[in-house]
Amino acid sequence: MITKHNIKREDYSDYDLGIIVGGGVDIGRIGIGGRYCYGTKTVGKQKDFAGSLETFPDSKN
């Protein structure tokens, strides 16, 4: 079982890449904006878990 005690810094990549797109509009004194972030690089490194090569975490930032 994976817990916060057996996750190490070595399990993650040293850098991250992403694309950010955003925009906004000012109406009088009120500003409304939005932003979308898309991760392009998997943040986890490949490790051998129980004889199977897995990437943990397998998400993108």
One-letter identity of residue 40: T
For 23-36, what is each residue's pLDDT tens digit? 999 999 999 999 99
Residue 33 within a domain: yes
Share of the chain above pLDDT 90, in %: 30
Residue 1 within a domain: no
Q: Are 16 and 43 in contact (CB under 8 A)?
A: yes
Provide the whole-model pTM.
0.51
Residue 43 within a domain: yes
**Domain span at residue 28?**
9-56
How many C-beta atoms lie closer than 10 Å to residue 28's C-beta? 5
**Number of folded domains in the chain?**
1
Residue 52 within a domain: yes
Mean pLDDT of the chain, nearest integer:
80
Residue 49 within a domain: yes
pLDDT of residue 3: 65
Residue 50 within a domain: yes
Instruction: State how far the Cα of 61 lies from the Cα of 52, in Å rounded to an integer.
Output: 24
Residue 61 within a domain: no
Residue 36 within a domain: yes
